[in-house]
Structure 1
Amino acid sequence: MAIFGKIEDLKPLFSKTQELESLLIGIESVFAGEALSRLQALGVGENYRVELDYGMFYIAHCYALKSEENGFFESHQDYIDFQVVVEGFEGYLIGSKDKFTLLQNYDKEKDLEVHTPKEKLNYLKLSSKEMAVLFPFDVHGVGIGYAEEVGKVVRKVIFKVPIKYIKHRL
């Protein structure tokens, strides 16, 4: 049950708690000033992590889109992903766990479970200033491109939010 759309349109979801209001401030901050400059300076394949309040953090990435065949499919249990495209665009393949075969059992230290698809998935394409909120039951492969899109560069930020701040609040 991923939630996706323009950040501007999703703002009402962040007015529920102080933690979510803090998250929105963090999301909006990556589009201006030093945070944007630092993200724009990333080369392909580079990333960095920024700690935030309430046990939240984000990882900024720059990478080239890959084909569906080279996709990496994952899910998480301790954190909700707020994936924010800052520059460029990217495709997401998303499905419930029943559409996948488990490849790697849950690793609590990495908050990561690895899957492989066994049937057709939902495709979502996000552009700059758009966001996808991915829950533990949303297995996702990101950075997907088709045909001439493969190799295009995307700059994005993934906000990792402890599940306790989201559960039953959005």
Structure 2
Amino acid sequence: MALFGSIATVRAQLAHAAHFQAAFAYLDEVLAPGSAGMKRILAVAAGKTERVELSGGAFALEQAYLTKERAQGFFESHRAYIDVQVIVSGEELMEVADVAKLTVGEDFTPGKDLIKYQMFGAASVLRLGAGEAAVFFPVDGHMPSLAVSSPALLHKTVIKVPVIR
């Protein structure tokens, strides 16, 4: 099931997993105050996403957007990648539920690693701010990008770590 908390907490939980090394090396660089990586993410324009290739088949999606009301969101999951969602600036709510409890709305696999689910009212809610992360595995239906109180600008990076089969 999902992991969440400070980068240090999440790293401690995944220290044994070698396939997360590229993600943590990247985070060490982009979360360092004043680093080129942090400046790059903070320069992403609202509504834009930039892709950064990492080693081992992983990649990062550096994003900036306005958080949204829950009614505008949707639950999603992925089969091929684990999401490591890290807030760089701002704050957002994320909901998470076991995919076994969700009803598939649209399955875009294998062409796109995305399954969308119908709305679900009994999810757990996470509140994350700068320097915090949530890790969503294929069993975790998640609805990120939600406003805490009203829509606000957020900068984040989502690292896609390949699932080991």
The reply to whether TM is greater than 0.5 is: yes
Counterpart of 2:22? 22
Kindly state the Cα deviation for residue 22 of structure 1 after the two structures are TM-superposed. 2.9
Q: Which runs of 5+ in 1 are unaligned?
A: none
Confirm or deny that 1:145 pairs with 2:147: yes
Kindly state the Cα deviation for residue 81 of structure 1 after the two structures are TM-superposed. 0.4
Q: Describe the SS at the equivalent of 2:145.
A: strand
Counterpart of 1:76? 78
1:2-52 per-position Cα deviation (integer Å, ceiling 9, x unaligned) = 000100223223432543333211122112311111111112101100000
Q: Describe the SS at the equivalent of 2:105.
A: strand
Q: Describe the SS at the equivalent of 2:103.
A: strand
Counterpart of 1:118? 120
Write out the 4+ residue segments of structure 1 that deviate beyond 3 Å after TM superposition.
Answer: none
Q: Which amino acid aligns with 1:118?
A: F
Q: Which amino acid aligns with 1:22?
A: A
Larger mean CA deviation between 109-118 and 75-84 belongs to 109-118
1:123-154 per-position Cα deviation (integer Å, ceiling 9, x unaligned) = 101111111010111111111124xx322111
Partners of 2:36 and 2:159 in 1: CA distance: 17
Partners of 2:137 and 2:96 in 1: CA distance: 11
Partners of 1:140 and 1:14 in 2: CA distance: 20
Q: Describe the SS at the equivalent of 2:118.
A: strand
Q: Count the aligned residue pairs.
A: 163
TM-score by length of 2: 0.91
Change (3 A) 1:114 1:37: same
Root-mean-square deviation (CA, aligned residues, Å) is 1.6
Partners of 2:100 and 2:18 in 1: CA distance: 34
Q: Describe the SS at the equivalent of 2:22.
A: helix
Q: Which amino acid aligns with 1:26?
A: Y
Partners of 2:128 and 2:6 in 1: CA distance: 9
Q: Which runs of 5+ in 2 are unaligned?
A: none
Counterpart of 2:36? 34
Partners of 1:118 and 1:130 in 2: CA distance: 25
1:91-114 per-position Cα deviation (integer Å, ceiling 9, x unaligned) = 001111233221102412211111
